[in-house]
Amino acid sequence: MKFDLRRLLTPTVILSSAGLACLLSVIALVWFGFRPSSPQTDPGLAPAYLTLIPASTSTPLATLTPTLDPLAGTPTLPADVIVPGGYVQITGTGGDGLRLRSAPGLTSEQLFLGEDAEVFQVKDGPQEANGYIWWYIVAPYDESRAGWAAANFLSVVPPPQ
């Protein structure tokens, strides 16, 4: 049995094969070429910018020696002496804060906790109790923040301006 190729390749078979090839090409282009790309799930590494702002520091006060007031002829107090009407700052608590109390002494009621570097005005004192010298101090910005504090954790500062 001999195989006749001319009988097999008729114009109808050739046109049908070409049409099927074109149809498959169009389907492949639509499927792969015109399909929207999938969203990227990993954006990669984004640079982060960090700005360091140094913390403020307190400037130590110079210790002054008593000098004679030319008008009064009496010695003035050193700058590091706590006096009523002066201003003090809480220091030396190691970040724990200072307990301000309702009366001088360690057993009196604790009213609130003063923070390191917080400034107060001295209103009364000194009084001695439990081996400490106590001063009654008031926050200049809030009269409700007032209480007795041990002098060991107070340092003299200039009045706010």
Domains with residue ranges and CATH for the chain: 87-157 (2.30.30.40)
Under the banding of pLDDT at 50, 70 and 90, the label for residue 129 is very high
What is the per-residue pLDDT for 40? Answer: 61
pLDDT in tens, 32-59: 776 666 666 666 666 767 777 676 655 5
Query: Among residues of the chain, what percentage have pLDDT more than 70?
Result: 72
Q: Is 134 exposed, middle or buried (0-12, 13-18, 19+ CB in 10 A)?
A: buried
Answer whether 0.75 is exceeded by the pTM.
no
Which residues lie closer than 8 Å to 119 by C-beta, 6 or more apart? Answer: 87, 88, 89, 139, 140, 157, 160
Q: What number of other Cβ atoms are within 10 A of residue 122's Cβ? A: 21
